[in-house]
């Protein structure tokens, strides 16, 4: 029992929901959080749509003091702290600045870039010779581990506190790292997750690479089209999600609510060989990652009921499905149900893995498969591998036990984790 790891808390700040309840409603109903943004048009972006969470000043004030918010200009850290605090409270704990240090709980919270807007603001002041007017929080808001520093201080965490960064696989990797930390007896609990800033200074490079869609600026909700024959690139997104992992022994002892069990996972790299590059996956490595994750979880390929794929709405979607079909040795009607959360929120970059892990856990707990919208015209190469009904475009109520979540990132890095329905 000491070696089993369960999930006892969730928090999410996504383009289509800034709480678990809102996000769950959006998943069940296929509600998109992708909208047109005038700022992107004014800056001559080809892609002028994106997913940005709706975080009001009123919502911010529930988590931060006026003093903390003064001069604060890092959306990723903001999202991460909100998600982390919500997950902590959801797990049954209080946020108390007077409490003792919790040496039994740690934090692994990933990001890609931190405080880009704050960094830009600082550059202008430096160029004007105003170094003394930078303010006291520039370093904390722009260092990669800023989100971990802020959040661990708010919660008083005393176990390992760190930040990981592995492009699009960051959040899934963070979860696996936290799982292993508990599995090895080094902590009772770990808060894991990831976040991503929003806006043109994060998304501009991808627009320049021409990997983002430009065909749906007038119909934003139709823009993110994973697995579709008419997909023309991903839609950028942002946000954060957090998950409280806990040893089963600790969770049962305090009678905690349990969402699901983490069975196991794996992280690897394709070495940018055999078809793998800085921006494309090595298929052999992807297959190894999935296969080793299944072995680590001590299950068989036939036990996988549902897959929440990486599936970004690029030319690599069909290759991803092919990799799953090869590893699982399952095609057509035998292929698991599969969906893509990105159809509803876009590609949230470093936050993608964490947000999609939360989506996977919610589906498992609530026993449904969320729709992949905008793929009525299934890609012909995918249609050869998967029966149409295995990719629902409306909510599907389904009794199932195991869901797989995989993330594949720039740099040819991969992560895959398996969740199982918890039965007391």
Q: How far apart are CA 69 and CA 82, in angstroms?
A: 13
Looking at residue 121, what is its pLDDT? Answer: 77
Tens digit of each residue's pLDDT (9 = 90 or more) over 126-154: 777 887 767 767 778 888 899 999 999 99
Q: How far apart are CA 209 and CA 139, in angstroms?
A: 30
Average pLDDT over residues 151-167: 97
In sequence order, what E strands does 169-286 have? 189-196, 239-247, 260-269
Q: Same domain, yes or no, for 214 and 344?
A: no
Tens digit of each residue's pLDDT (9 = 90 or more) over 346-397: 999 999 999 999 999 999 999 999 999 999 999 999 999 999 999 999 999 9
Question: 259 in a domain, yes or no?
Answer: no
Which of 198, 224, 253 is the endpoint of a domain? 253
Which of 253, 284, 317 is the endpoint of a domain? 253
Two structure tokens written together for 98: 């007077």
Percent of the chain, pLDDT > 90?
A: 88
Q: Is 417 helix (H, G, I), strand (E, B) or coil?
A: strand
Domain span at 30: 5-253
Tens digit of each residue's pLDDT (9 = 90 or more) over 229-242: 999 999 999 999 99
Average pLDDT over residues 290-312: 98
Q: Same domain, yes or no, for 241 and 271?
A: no
Q: Same domain, yes or no, for 327 and 404?
A: yes
Q: Write the CATH number for 372.
A: 3.40.47.10
Q: Same domain, yes or no, for 49 and 128?
A: yes
The answer to whether 125 and 134 have CB atoms below 8 angstroms apart is yes
Quote the Cα angle for 295-301-307, to 5°. 105
The answer to whether 310 and 173 have CB atoms below 8 angstroms apart is no
Provide the domain count of the chain: 2
Question: 258 in a domain, yes or no?
Answer: no
Task: Look at residue 162 and tell me whether its pLDDT is greater than 80.
Answer: yes
Relative to beta strand 34-36, strand 368-369 is: unpaired
Q: How far apart are CA 328 and CA 155, in angstroms?
A: 41
Q: How far apart are CA 362 and CA 59, in angstroms?
A: 23
Looking at residue 252, what is its pLDDT? Answer: 96
Q: Same domain, yes or no, for 240 and 279?
A: no
Q: How far apart are CA 29 and CA 395, in angstroms?
A: 7
pTM, two decimal places? 0.96
Two structure tokens written together for 180: 């292993």
Task: Look at residue 1 and tell me whether its pLDDT is greater than 60.
Answer: no
Q: Same domain, yes or no, for 359 and 240?
A: no
Relative to beta strand 396-397, strand 368-369 is: antiparallel
Looking at residue 344, what is its pLDDT? Answer: 98
Percent of the chain, pLDDT > 70?
A: 98
Q: How far apart are CA 253 and CA 266, in angstroms?
A: 29
Q: Give Cα 143 distance to the centre of its chain.
A: 20
Tell me 16's DSSP state.
T
Question: 398 in a domain, yes or no?
Answer: yes
The answer to whether 345 and 15 have CB atoms below 8 angstroms apart is yes
């Amino acid at each position: 029992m000491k070696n089993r790891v369960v999930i006892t808390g969730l928090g999410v700040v996504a383009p289509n929901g800034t709480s678990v309840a809102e996000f769950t409603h959006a998943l069940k109903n296929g509600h998109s959080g992708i909208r047109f943004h005038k700022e992107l048009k004014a800056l001559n972006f080809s892609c002028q749509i994106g997913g940005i969470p709706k975080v009001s000043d009123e919502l911010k004030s529930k988590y931060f003091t006026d003093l903390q918010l003064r001069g604060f200009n890092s959306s990723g850290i903001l999202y991460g702290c909100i998600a982390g605090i919500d997950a902590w409270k959801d797990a049954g704990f209080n946020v108390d600045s007077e409490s003792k240090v919790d040496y039994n709980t740690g934090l692994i919270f990933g990001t890609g870039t931190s405080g880009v807007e704050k960094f830009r603001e600082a550059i202008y002041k430096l160029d004007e010779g105003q170094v003394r007017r930078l303010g006291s929080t520039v370093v904390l808001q722009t260092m990669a581990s800023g989100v971990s520093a802020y959040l661990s201080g708010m919660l008083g965490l005393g176990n390992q506190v760190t930040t990981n960064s592995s492009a699009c696989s960051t959040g899934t990797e963070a979860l696996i790292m936290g799982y292993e930390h508990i599995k090895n007896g080094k902590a009772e609990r770990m808060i894991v997750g990831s976040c991503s800033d929003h806006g043109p200074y994060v998304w501009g490079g991808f627009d320049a690479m021409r990997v983002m869609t430009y065909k749906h600026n007038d119909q934003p909700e139709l823009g993110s089209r994973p697995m579709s024959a008419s997909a023309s690139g991903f839609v950028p997104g942002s946000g954060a999600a957090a998950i409280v992992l806990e040893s089963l022994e600790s969770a049962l002892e305090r009678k905690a609510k349990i969402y699901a069990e983490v069975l196991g996972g794996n992280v690897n790299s394709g070495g940018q060989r055999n078809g793998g590059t800085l921006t494309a996956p090595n298929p052999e490595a992807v297959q190894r990652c999935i296969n080793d994750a299944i072995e680590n979880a001590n299950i068989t390929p036939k036990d996988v009921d549902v897959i929440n794929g990486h599936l970004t709405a690029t030319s690599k979607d069909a290759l991803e499905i092919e990799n799953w079909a090869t590893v699982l040795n399952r095609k057509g009607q035998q292929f698991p149900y599969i969906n893509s959360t990105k159809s509803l929120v876009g590609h949230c970059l470093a936050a993608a893995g964490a947000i999609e892990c939360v989506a996977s856990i919610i589906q498992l707990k609530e026993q449904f498969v969320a729709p992949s919208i905008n793929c009525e015209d299934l890609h012909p190469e995918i249609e050869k591998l998967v029966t149409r009904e295995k990719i629902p475009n409306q909510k599907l109520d389904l009794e199932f036990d195991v869901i797989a979540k995989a993330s594949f990132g720039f740099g040819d890095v991969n992560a895959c984790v398996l969740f199982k329905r918890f039965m007391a």
